[in-house]
């Protein structure tokens, strides 16, 4: 298993001379938990979070028997290369051979230092997060659509809403504000101390 870091324009690359002994790729979803009267908690499944991975190893001063190749850069040449990538403002690419990991990533944190043993080896921890590439035209179009929808919703927003059976503040906020997480503001506007307790026929100010 080889660990490769490559620059944004693919003009520079660095194979870690000593591969990390292990790694964990963290993935998940942006789920939302809401409370519904008479039903309790439900989980609304959202879109995927950005994957994250942390790599820990060291840059050797000399070639040890467990190094994956010879002729590797000096420890601080490796450090400078990663630091230059971090400061560039561009993503890099992480490739871990024999796995499916081939991701554009951003450098979130880079820690390095030496131990008292005096070998000159530089130990490091590199925290990376998936970088999601967005089509610029699509992104701008999506933003314009969102703004137009928001303005349209603002124009059509009625002054009040009468609660119906099965309604929740989260669902009402989602319907009128296009964002269910704004239900605390809706509760505060109507003096509702417990957002889970609303009843049919109750008139809410929007």
Report the residue count for the chain: 206
- How much of the chain exceeds pLDDT 70, in percent? 88
Examine the domain organization and report whether 126 and 161 are in the same domain. Answer: no
* Predicted confidence (pLDDT) at residue 175 exceeds the cutoff of 90: no
Provide the token pair at 164: 């119906």
Among the listed residues 55, 139, 34, 130, the one whose alpha carbon sits nearest the alpha carbon of residue 91: 130
Is 144 a member of any domain? no
Q: What's the CA gap between 206 and 199, in Å, rounded? A: 16
CA distance to 11, 169, 195, per residue, from 7 (Å): 6, 47, 49
Examine the domain organization and report whether 29 and 67 are in the same domain. Answer: yes
Is 174 a member of any domain? yes
The domain boundary, picked from 130, 148, 181, lies at 130
DSSP strands (E only) in 8-79: 13-15, 25-26, 32-36, 40-44, 52-59
What local confidence, expressed as pLDDT, does residue 41 receive? 81
pLDDT in tens, 58-77: 999 999 999 999 999 999 99
Q: State which residues form the domain around 20.
A: 3-130
Examine the domain organization and report whether 108 and 36 are in the same domain. Answer: yes
Q: Which one is predicted more confidently, 196 or 4?
A: 4
What CATH number is given to the structural domain containing 60? 2.40.30
Is 101 a member of any domain? yes
The domain boundary, picked from 130, 165, 195, lies at 130
Note the pTM of the prediction, 2 decimals: 0.64
Average pLDDT of the residues of the chain? 88
* Predicted confidence (pLDDT) at residue 89 exceeds the cutoff of 70: yes
Q: What is the count of structural domains for the chain?
A: 2
Provide the token pair at 32: 């939302």
């Amino acid at each position: 298993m080889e660990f490769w870091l490559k620059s944004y324009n693919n003009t520079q690359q660095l194979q870690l001379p000593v591969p990390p002994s292990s790694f964990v790729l963290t993935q998940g979803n942006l789920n939302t938990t809401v409370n519904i009267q008479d039903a309790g908690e439900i989980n609304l499944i959202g879109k995927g979070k950005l994957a994250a991975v942390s790599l820990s190893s060291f840059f050797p001063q000399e070639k040890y028997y467990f190094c994956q190749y010879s002729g590797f850069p000096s420890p601080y040449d490796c450090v400078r290369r990663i630091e230059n990538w971090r400061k560039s403002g561009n993503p890099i690419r992480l490739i871990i051979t024999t796995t499916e990991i081939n991701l554009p990533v951003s450098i979130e944190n880079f820690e390095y230092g030496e131990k008292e043993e005096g070998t000159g080896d530089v130990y490091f921890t590199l925290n990376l997060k998936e970088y999601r590439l967005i089509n610029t035209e699509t992104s701008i179009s999506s933003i314009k659509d969102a703004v137009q929808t928001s303005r349209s919703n603002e124009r059509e927003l009625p002054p009040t809403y009468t609660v119906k059976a099965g309604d929740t503040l989260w669902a009402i906020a989602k319907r009128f504000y296009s964002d269910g997480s704004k239900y605390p503001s809706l509760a505060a506007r109507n003096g509702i101390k417990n957002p889970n307790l609303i009843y049919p026929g109750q008139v809410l100010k929007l």
